[in-house]
Structure 1
Amino acid sequence: MNRAREMWKVLEPFHAITYFSPETRKATDALGLKGGWMSYFGCRAAPLGPVGPEIVAAVFYNFHPAVVARSLPDAWTYAAPAQLLDARLTAVDHAVRRLFADTVFERAAEIGRHAAELAPVAGRPIAAANAALEWPTEPHLVLWQATTILRESRGDGHVAALVAAGLSPCQALVTISAAGGPSKEVFQLNRRWSDEEWAAASDDLRSRGLLDADGALTDTGRAQRQQVEDTTDALADQGWRALGDDLSRELHDVVRPFSAELMSAGLIPADNPMAMRWD
């Protein structure tokens, strides 16, 4: 088993409750934020403080800078980051209680927090910002915060792997789509790169021998894409090695039913921009 990848696959849906449940949008609407994008960027960036769009576009990496700039810094004029941190946690609380009434989360929360406290944060700004937050007390919220730290630690490492591979934000999306990931349409809808920008990114990849004339990955392109994924897994596995095989497996097994239910219920779309697939 590729431990780091399997752990991401199992933990990501529980974290993603914050993106796909209606409770989050309801909470940010109540604070005066305008629309889904402002809700998303405000809530996810809130651990970083009232930062500007340039920083958020840099660390989130694959969003078009213009779509970030339409939400930030305006979001901070409606709600301070601390208010949005409270709002997202309250929203997750309500969503989990609705989706998993009477479910026991104590063991998952205990191991999840231990794993999150071992997750590497050096050179990982979003993970470090989330790890600096106070822990909630309710077990289901402890588990959610743990999955958030763990996925952001992995994501920050993934950005480092993309930068090392010389893949721009748009090129990262082009290559993962060409490798069988989410469709161009899903990425353009959710990351907002235009047809012209997508084409320019593809042309540059062709000039480097990574894409062929039909937009498919060449052997060199597949090798580079695989290297990105392998590096991402290797960087993420630092924390799982520290946790150990037994606790990693136990966390996998206790969280998997929750994530399976979320995926089978359709809370998270099958073709989603996180490249999350379930089988």
Structure 2
Amino acid sequence: MGDVLARALWERYEPVHDLVYFAPEARRAADEVGLRGFWMGYFALRAAPLGPVAAPVVTSCFYVFHPDRVARALPDAWRYAAPDEVLAARQRAMDAALTRVLGPDAVTGWRMTEAADLAWRAATAADTAGRVLGAANQALDRPKEPHVRLWQALTTLREHRGDGHVAVLVAQGLGPVAAMVLKAAAGESDAALLREGRKWDLPAWRAAEAGLRERGWLGEDGTLTAAGAAVHADVEARPDAAAERPWTALGRDGTTRLAALLEPLARAVLDSGLIPSGNPVGLTGDLWASSPAVAAPAGVTDTGTGEGTE
């Protein structure tokens, strides 16, 4: 099927998944179960499928965070709320956030149900050997509500691809800070936002820059060299290629149908303003400008999130 279509799917499911980081409903849900502060909520909400794990496990899985950032949240979070409680809070948060952002008609309509079922089929087919976060999310129960089911399926697919991305970074010898320097130099995110959010100091950042310059990947002006650009393209393309299994299992027709159903949902999230400019994920308002055109599925003729006529 090709990694181009896998990239097109990532561009459409990543914004929907990212509501768990940026929607105020997620912060409120974390507060309601006793978690303290944004970062404790972030790490607990994302790591809860793993169970009550210690900080080193999450530092390894999440890859780019300084160990001290994680250790300030875990394992203390599990003293305030058990992982099962956090998972329930996560579902409540996504129920509320998706309903608000997409509208009550969109989350209860036939398109949402179709998208959720297609995404769940793809997520169930994901190969999870060596993919810890993907496997942990895949093992969760199937939510009853279509929009929550969709979000969980997209989260499984997102973490499945992310696990593969980490494997590629390790294979390339790109440590956590070097990986972020490469990302920022490619113009995908703001360097200060990445460094400060993940709690790395300036000397560590400068050391990673020096290492990339020694490898011929970063110029003195802080931009990527031709060789660096090629490496960056490779570390983005290889995770897409490694994430093809769900889409192969779903088939081209099912995959293109899901992409078309997701596009207005992703657009609604991006248009909501919840995901800030320069965000760590690298999301922009024109994500799929260079992606292949995705044919609208039968019965889908508008570009809004309203359900229209069946």
Q: TM-score, normalised by structure 2?
A: 0.87
How much does 1:194 deviate?
1.4
For 1:174-226, what per-residue CA distance to the aligned partner results, in whole angstroms no more than 9, with x for missing partners? 00111121010221232222111100111111122221222222222122111
Partner of residue 14, structure 1: 16
Matched, 1:148 2:142: no
Q: Name the stretch that deviates more: 175-184 or 187-196.
A: 187-196
Choose from 232, 242, 251 the match for 1:225: 232
Q: How does 1:243-262 map to 2 (within 5 A)?
A: 243-262=250-269
Q: Distance in 2 between matches of 1:266 and 1:98?
A: 13
Q: Distance in 2 between matches of 1:37 and 1:86?
A: 18
Partner of residue 88, structure 1: 90
Matched, 1:241 2:241: no
Q: Distance in 2 between matches of 1:101 and 1:43?
A: 24
Query: Structure 2 stretches of 5 or more lacking a match?
Result: 287-310
Partner of residue 32, structure 1: 34
For 1:57-97, what per-residue CA distance to the aligned partner results, in whole angstroms no more than 9, with x for missing partners? 10100111110111011101101111100111111111122
Partner of residue 67, structure 1: 69
Q: Percent identity?
A: 47
Query: Structure 1 stretches of 5 or more lacking a match?
Result: none
Q: Name the stretch that deviates more: 149-158 or 176-185.
A: 176-185
State the aligned residue count. Answer: 279
Q: Distance in 1 between matches of 2:260 and 2:279?
A: 24
Please state whether the residue corresponding to 1:244 is helix, strand or coil. Answer: helix
For 1:113-137, what per-residue CA distance to the aligned partner results, in whole angstroms no more than 9, with x for missing partners? 1111112211100000000111111
Q: List, as ranges, runs of 4+ consecutive aligned residues in structure 1 with deviation greater than 4 Å.
A: none
Please state whether the residue corresponding to 2:73 is helix, strand or coil. Answer: coil
Partner of residue 104, structure 2: 101
Q: Distance in 1 between matches of 2:92 and 2:187?
A: 36
How much does 1:266 deviate?
0.6
Q: Distance in 2 between matches of 1:262 and 1:212?
A: 35
Q: Distance in 2 between matches of 1:166 and 1:130?
A: 27
Q: TM-score, normalised by structure 1?
A: 0.97
| Coordinate RMSD, CA, aligned | 1.2
Choose from 133, 157, 165 the match for 1:126: 133
Q: Distance in 2 between matches of 1:116 and 1:163?
A: 24
Partner of residue 184, structure 2: 177
Choose from 193, 196, 214 the match for 1:186: 193
Partner of residue 157, structure 1: 164
